[in-house]
Amino acid sequence: MAERPYVIDEMISAKAIAARIEELCHDIRQEFASTDKLVVVGLLRGSFVFIADLVRELDVAVEVDFLEASSYGDTMESSREVRILKDLRGAIEGRDVLVVEDIVDTGFTLSHVIKLLNSRKPERLKTIALLDKPSRREVPVKADWIGFEIPDEFVVGYGIDFAQRNRNLPFIGKVRFTD
């Protein structure tokens, strides 16, 4: 199928994202102030930009690990099936864990990952999502920290793709088809 033509309209600027991350890190630092065993877990691939900015702004001793869970493939529709494509490198039993997600849509991915990681008995498990689309929710799950609540728009950038493109945009944009 030929690619549909589209343009990207800026929705959340790089500056607004950076300011929000600063605010979020203020809270997160307080939550984890008493621990030296924090593991920040990024959900690949979408969270790679967010986690990089988050851990640098957080500026505390952390370990970083990644988990790849996929529910979408290269289409816009959720398959409702969450597959673990890459597991964590390290054990999280007894550790404080912060799961970093780029976007919570239907909620299948985050709820599956929370169940999976809780079964490994961390001391504490918290979650953060840069974007939340509550109107799309099919599984009742909410991240402990949310960057921005957004309407049901097709967004890209800052780690989020459309058919694997546009992850490297420094801002969050809205896809607008022009055909």
Identity at 158, one-letter amino acid code? Y
**Residue 44, CA distances (Å) to 3, 36, 66, 70 in order:** 24, 24, 7, 8
When the beta carbons of 120 and 167 are compared against ligand PRP, the nearer one is 167
Out of 25, 28, 40, 45, the residue judged to bind ligand PRP by CB under 6 A: 45
Q: Which of residues 85-124 bind ligand PRP (CB under 6 A)?
A: 101-110
161 near ligand PRP, rule: CB under 6 A: yes
Catalytic choice (53, 96, 105, 132):
105
Is 105 in the active site? yes
154 near ligand PRP, rule: CB under 6 A: no
Please identify every residue annotated as catalytic: 105
Residues that bind ligand PRP (CB under 6 A): 43-46, 70-72, 78, 101-110, 161
